[in-house]
Structure 1
């Protein structure tokens, strides 16, 4: 007769935290989900809810605690509190720099080395070195501190969002190095002091990433965190079908919950789509990129040696990338700058015609991309840049047609006759104009209201400004809006403040009680995103690198939040709250 031995799993034992551990071993259970017992002395967490594990941690790591710090002694709490605060600050800096958890131990070794070299007094050196050694900086400690710090800044963010009347959401989806689809959600809002752009959450998507699934995930997140989807005034997406579908797209599903929602295709994405190459220019670009991306390491080394021997201005070519804000124009500019060296190297250059002009037009497109990028760029800023560029294209077309080439310096230097400028570049600029015109027609932002927010002292009050403003904020009174705008325009001081501080700071300082309707419209417009959170994925790939590909989705989320947030953690108050419990226990 045979008997099968079944191994009991910890997860099936339903172990609970024992309150007696708090008084016997100074362990508590943090309030966040899936929390583990945490030591108040070293802030270490125990993986298993067992009395033996908790007791062993207390005896092995803190067996001299009661001897060194008798009951009732304030030093019993002060030294561990300072060590924990130091540990939290180190973990914050490492997470900000997107460094691995194991680097915390390297930091301790570096601090000890510095103390050993800088301090000459042996007594002081021993004291400082002892204090550093008592700072818990293991990789597991670093993980726990990142959890605490991320939770701290997220609580602050949630608190500010609860007070905000409106917010704008940017949604984008990408795949990390482990082939997990990550939905990145950014939020922009006014916190009564300034406009903030923060990472709201990073949601992993298992399986398909349809609009219904994405909307379901976001709905659950909003509900679990006490946020109201009705408060979202704008949704910015990357234009994918799952986001913009008229029936089951994220924007369509969200509009059923918040009818006032304005949906916008990321303006930076649209600018890139406008600049698609075709025909001869695409062939030229492909040939240039093929040379730069040569797969032969030997040829690359030989080319670099030639540049050094010829005392060239640059030592190598730039490697471009198809990601929209990594500049192909810079790569082309470098290529044209090294044209003579490349001709010498290849002995027979192909597809030379048109490269210089292509270099210049891409440089202008790069300048546009740079103007569209960055934090604290509102939808108003981005729309203004997009509206300005077609005017520049008219100048470029005229410049090429008459052969003056003021905006194309390399061709002016290299080409002896304007007839050498073919119709290729003129046709490309004409296509750009058509593409930008078509994209601009799809922008749903009311131009009159955007002009009003940018400069309320010059906008025409007559007409349908108040009606347009009511479309943005349905709750305002159109009559009071117009009357208060007249009062504001009569103030010379406020006009000077606008010129000095700019629109964002100006509207921040406007008295909400004196101009409630006007400020509400301005806050909603300035809270709108113009682009998605694409740059967050660059940070995500830095965090979950090839050597850290085993990070869980939860830990990745916490590391990314710390790396991107503008909030500062309340380290002192966080430590004080933990050690107030300890004081109450040991007194």
Structure 2
């Protein structure tokens, strides 16, 4: 970028009805022209008086902070950054004109746990429109991005990332929620570990579980690098979750105790995790529970948590109920904690500066409790105070 390009930028601002005066040719040297011109651009023409000494010092400081050697390099960086919002508006208008599947690209955010998959999916749906837009843009970065979109190998990688992040997002959604027990979470993880083996074989066959890869590659290019990626995922999942020692009997005990056939194996697994458990009592209580037809019918009508906490009588099955309570009260994820912090941020704002810790605790309890007040009953019990 040179001085004429900067003048073009200033002319554009003038055509946009922004009162920006062009720098005069009698400014002493191009070394001062850049700081002065950037000061005018930064102020959007609202302040036509420029302190040349202060702006020159600011320009040199900024150039040193960015590690840039020339004025042209810094000017290119600043002008490209200032025009990014304009390019964004032009992209949105272009996508609307061509009736694309989406009218904008999504911005990736590390805090949002589904962001990567959604960003990639959105980009893939409008990749052809984005390529057309970049072909019309006359800039070095646009040319680089356009070359990236035209590279088949790069787009193969993007297609694979679209599919694999979609599968990972499905797992993430299954792992979220308030009432998921640790057994349900581990069931989802074990299921996904088996799916990874299926994905590995599928990539070497017809890519039925990778529709984006199938559309992009069409059997014409090698996908061995994707198989290696799946292998690494399998190893990572094994390293992270294989140390979790809950076996099949304990998982089945929570989800459906009436399906357990190996009573001795169940009691042995329980005593491995809970040293206080009595093997003989657990075996007899499990047999009695499975023989109770009424409890079996109640189990079909309710969810496992409600069944163990409210339906199973503690007097008849104290050992089984205690084991179930220990398992159900384990925190399988940080979802509840994160939800509580989000609720607290909504309640405790800068506009409620007089909110005490006691009142905050009460508000948090009301906001997070699953119980709903029965207002009709409370209102019917209220007594009006008539004046004498």
Category of TM-score, reference length = shorter chain: 0.5 to 0.7
Alpha-carbon distance in 1 for matches of 2:190, 2:357: 40
Q: For this pair of structures, how many residues does the alignment match?
A: 290
Of 161, 176, 189 in structure 2, the residue corresponding to residue 386 of structure 1 is 189
Alpha-carbon distance in 1 for matches of 2:82, 2:324: 52
Of 355, 376, 381 in structure 1, the residue corresponding to residue 179 of structure 2 is 376
Of 459, 472, 477 in structure 1, the residue corresponding to residue 278 of structure 2 is 477
Of 318, 327, 330 in structure 1, the residue corresponding to residue 115 of structure 2 is 327
Q: Which deviates further from its counterpart, 301-310 or 528-537?
A: 528-537
Alpha-carbon distance in 1 for matches of 2:235, 2:382: 62
Residues 1:337 and 2:139 are matched in the alignment: no
Counterpart of 1:77 in structure 2 is none
Deviations 1:12-64 (A, max 9, x none): xxxxxxxxxxxxxxxxxxxxxxxxxxxxxxxxxxxxxxxxxxxxxxxxxxxxx
* Structure with the larger helix share: 2
Deviations 1:252-283 (A, max 9, x none): xxxxxxxxxxxxxxxxxxxxxxxxxxxxxxxx
Give runs of aligned pairs for residues 97-246 of structure 1, distance below 5 A: none
Larger Rg: 2
Residues 1:415 and 2:195 are matched in the alignment: no
Displacement, 1:369? 0.4
The answer on whether the counterparts of 1:325 and 1:370 sit within 8 Å (CA) in structure 2 is: no
Of 308, 325, 331 in structure 1, the residue corresponding to residue 96 of structure 2 is 308
Tell me the C-alpha RMSD between the 2 structures: 3.4
Structure 1 unmatched runs, 5+: 1-292
Displacement, 1:479? 0.8
Counterpart of 2:106 in structure 1 is 318
Counterpart of 2:343 in structure 1 is 539
User: Judging changes above 3 Å, is the alpha-carbon distance between structure 1 residues 550 and 515 closer, same or farther for their aligned structure 2 residues?
Assistant: closer
Please state whether the residue corresponding to 1:465 is helix, strand or coil: helix
Alpha-carbon distance in 1 for matches of 2:322, 2:266: 15
TM-score normalized by the length of structure 1: 0.44
Residues 1:452 and 2:218 are matched in the alignment: no
Residues 1:567 and 2:368 are matched in the alignment: no
Alpha-carbon distance in 1 for matches of 2:268, 2:219: 55
Displacement, 1:517? 1.8
The answer on whether the counterparts of 2:264 and 2:283 sit within 8 Å (CA) in structure 1 is: no
Residues 1:520 and 2:322 are matched in the alignment: yes
User: Judging changes above 3 Å, is the alpha-carbon distance between structure 1 residues 333 and 568 closer, same or farther for their aligned structure 2 residues?
Assistant: same
User: Judging changes above 3 Å, is the alpha-carbon distance between structure 1 residues 545 and 468 closer, same or farther for their aligned structure 2 residues?
Assistant: same
User: Judging changes above 3 Å, is the alpha-carbon distance between structure 1 residues 559 and 492 closer, same or farther for their aligned structure 2 residues?
Assistant: closer
Please state whether the residue corresponding to 1:438 is helix, strand or coil: helix
Counterpart of 1:498 in structure 2 is 299
User: Judging changes above 3 Å, is the alpha-carbon distance between structure 1 residues 343 and 502 closer, same or farther for their aligned structure 2 residues?
Assistant: same
User: Judging changes above 3 Å, is the alpha-carbon distance between structure 1 residues 349 and 501 closer, same or farther for their aligned structure 2 residues?
Assistant: farther
Counterpart of 2:232 in structure 1 is 431
Displacement, 1:524? 2.2
Counterpart of 1:191 in structure 2 is none
The answer on whether the counterparts of 2:108 and 2:119 sit within 8 Å (CA) in structure 1 is: yes
User: Judging changes above 3 Å, is the alpha-carbon distance between structure 1 residues 316 and 521 closer, same or farther for their aligned structure 2 residues?
Assistant: same
Please state whether the residue corresponding to 2:106 is helix, strand or coil: coil
Counterpart of 1:365 in structure 2 is 168
Of 295, 312, 315 in structure 2, the residue corresponding to residue 510 of structure 1 is 312
Counterpart of 2:8 in structure 1 is none
Alpha-carbon distance in 2 for matches of 1:334, 1:417: 24
The answer on whether the counterparts of 2:156 and 2:217 sit within 8 Å (CA) in structure 1 is: no
TM-score normalized by the length of structure 2: 0.65
Deviations 1:156-208 (A, max 9, x none): xxxxxxxxxxxxxxxxxxxxxxxxxxxxxxxxxxxxxxxxxxxxxxxxxxxxx
The answer on whether the counterparts of 2:298 and 2:311 sit within 8 Å (CA) in structure 1 is: no
Residues 1:298 and 2:86 are matched in the alignment: yes
Q: Which deviates further from its counterpart, 404-413 or 366-375?
A: 404-413
Displacement, 1:374? 0.8
Structure number with greater CO (CA < 8 Å, separation at least 6) is 1
